[in-house]
Amino acid sequence: MSVNQRIKPITTEIKENLTIGGCDTLELVKKYGSPLYVIDELTLRTICREYIDAFKNYPNITVLYASKALATSAIFKIVTSEGLGLDVVSGGEIYTAYKAGIPMDKLMFNGNNKQEWELETAVDVGVGRFSVDNFNDINLLGKITESRNKMVEVLLRITPGIDCHTHEYIQTGHLDSKFGFDLTQIDEAVSLILSKYPKISIRGLHAHIGSQIFDSAGYVDEAKILVSELVRINKKYNLSMDELNLGGGLGVKYTENDTPPDVKDIAEIVINTLNQEFDKNKLKDIKLYIEPGRSIISTSGVTLYTVGAIKQVPKGTKYVSVDGGMADNPRPAMYQAEYVCDVANKMNFEDKEIVTIAGRYCESGDILIKDILLPKLQAGDVICVYNTGAYNYSMASNYNRVQKIGMVLVNNSQSDIIVYRETLDDLISHDNIPDRLN
């Protein structure tokens, strides 16, 4: 069973209380405060190794961690120490990697509206690959490379026209998408680069068909389209492109209803499909990139909350409010995402009832988990929501002027802060009152 097929971190145990990474979750709350993001290092390292092992039969592959899922200096250090590179989508993610000492040639810069300063930064620090998404990317990169007299190597991102049957907001490979060149635009993009920008070297093609994918058929179709386009473009323009990036998107198990494929199964399908296409087209030595994000980080993360107000609606829902919610986990409000949880200090209690876990924020839609069977709760109980490593901290906000929460890394009974909890002074640190208002 791959890590992405688990709901809970692999070190999860029930002792007197719920423990993760050998650390008592109640003690973590006591030491670091609540709410609290917790990342289990062993789970994270294990899934990195599973990806490396699953694709070991492909001779030339780079696994890129899709940083948008969770970008912190410590996370970058861990995943790169396990042999992964980084897929980055902003100047901030590039800067985080740069300051963390990550070799810049391990980065691929992706994104549909890269800013000029971001591209300048990426060129200046030596980012290894650029995924060119549109004509604006081409023109900006062309101008920057000429002014700096630097070569860059790029992959052209295409929209392959694949519906991966996921949530509408996280489909990125269908035809009507903001991402990538439509297949009818590829020739124009190639011609523009070859005719006008000699310092842009086209190395290959990139596609990404979506997120939280359970159906392997999409990867098969994507691989066939990418190989077909690579062969066609090479022949038409006398190029020697030799790199393909299949993106990421493998799903994870948030609830018992989720059935994501095993990483090894996906790897076998991808490798077999590519080898068949390569043999058919007499291709050799094609470098492959994949860029998993959610499936790398999600399962290793949990969020700890403390119960506060409890409201029983007469003949209706029993709401249990916690000290966090949509500002630290916007996914239920945005995507109708579902989670499961445990009561960390009542793991063996038998007296249970159905409740709805509500957040503290001033929105009726701030509901974390609807209608879940839990031990009877009271103020001060600690709730552990599982599988919150991906897109929780990344999408967090200061809604209602509440401080962003901290994050700790646990391993072998040791805990370390990797993101400090914001203070009230942090909240107002960028505010300014014009003199005329005083």
In a domain, 131, yes or no: yes
β-strands 18-20, 23-24: how paired? antiparallel
In a domain, 22, yes or no: no
- The residue annotated as part of the active site, out of 23, 48, 362, 384, is 362
CA neighbor of 118 nearest in space, from 101, 100, 97, 149 = 97
Integer distance in angstroms from the first to the last C-alpha of the chain? 63
Count of alpha carbons within 13 angstroms of residue 269, beta-carbon side = 18
Model pLDDT, residue 172: 42
- pLDDT tens for residues 348-387? 998 999 999 999 999 999 999 999 999 999 999 999 999 9
Say yes or no: 293 and 305 in one domain: no
Structural domain of 391: 301-428
Q: Is residue 164 annotated as part of the catalytic site, yes or no? A: no
- pLDDT tens for residues 168-222? 433 344 455 677 798 889 999 999 999 999 999 999 999 988 888 888 888 898 9
The span from the CA of 24 to the CA of 204, in Å, is 48
Say yes or no: 287 and 343 in one domain: no
Model pLDDT, residue 432: 97
Distances (CA, A) of 423 to 35, 394, 416, 417: 14, 18, 18, 15
Q: List, in order, residues 6 or more apart from 27 with CB less than 8 Å away.
A: none
Model pLDDT, residue 178: 73
Residue position matching structure tokens 């060149």: 181
Residues 200 and 208 sit within 8 Å (Cβ to Cβ): no
Model pLDDT, residue 138: 97
Low-confidence ranges of the chain (pLDDT < 50): 164-174
CA neighbor of 209 nearest in space, from 188, 180, 238 = 180
Strand partners, 36: 304, 406
- CA quadruple 328, 333, 334, 337: dihedral positive or negative? positive
Model pLDDT, residue 171: 37
Q: Which of 244, 265, 297 is the last residue of a domain?
A: 297
CA neighbor of 252 nearest in space, from 180, 166, 186 = 166
* CATH code, 413: 2.40.37.10
Count how many domains the chain has.
2
Say yes or no: 348 and 290 in one domain: no
Q: For residue 349, how far is the Cα from the chain centroid?
A: 35
Say yes or no: 120 and 245 in one domain: yes
Q: Which of 297, 314, 348 is the last residue of a domain?
A: 297
Other CB atoms within 10 Å distance of the CB of residue 237: 15
Residues 199 and 138 sit within 8 Å (Cβ to Cβ): no
Say yes or no: 92 and 230 in one domain: yes
Say yes or no: 209 and 333 in one domain: no
Say yes or no: 259 and 344 in one domain: no
Distances (CA, A) of 254 to 203, 364, 374: 37, 23, 17
At 57, the amino acid letter reads N
Residues 266 and 219 sit within 8 Å (Cβ to Cβ): yes
81 — phi, psi (to 5°)?
A: -65, -20
Say yes or no: 146 and 273 in one domain: yes
Model pLDDT, residue 294: 96
Say yes or no: 372 and 244 in one domain: no
Say yes or no: 103 and 44 in one domain: yes
Say yes or no: 100 and 239 in one domain: yes
Model pLDDT, residue 175: 56
* CATH code, 130: 3.20.20.10
In a domain, 434, yes or no: no
99 CB burial (10 A radius; 0-12, 13-18, 19+):
exposed
Q: Which of 297, 327, 351 is the last residue of a domain?
A: 297
In a domain, 62, yes or no: yes
Say yes or no: 244 and 352 in one domain: no
- In three-state secondary structure terms, 376 is coil
Residue position matching structure tokens 């030799």: 242
In a domain, 7, yes or no: no
At 158, the amino acid letter reads I
* Cis peptide bond N-terminal to 292, omega within 30: no
- In three-state secondary structure terms, 234 is helix
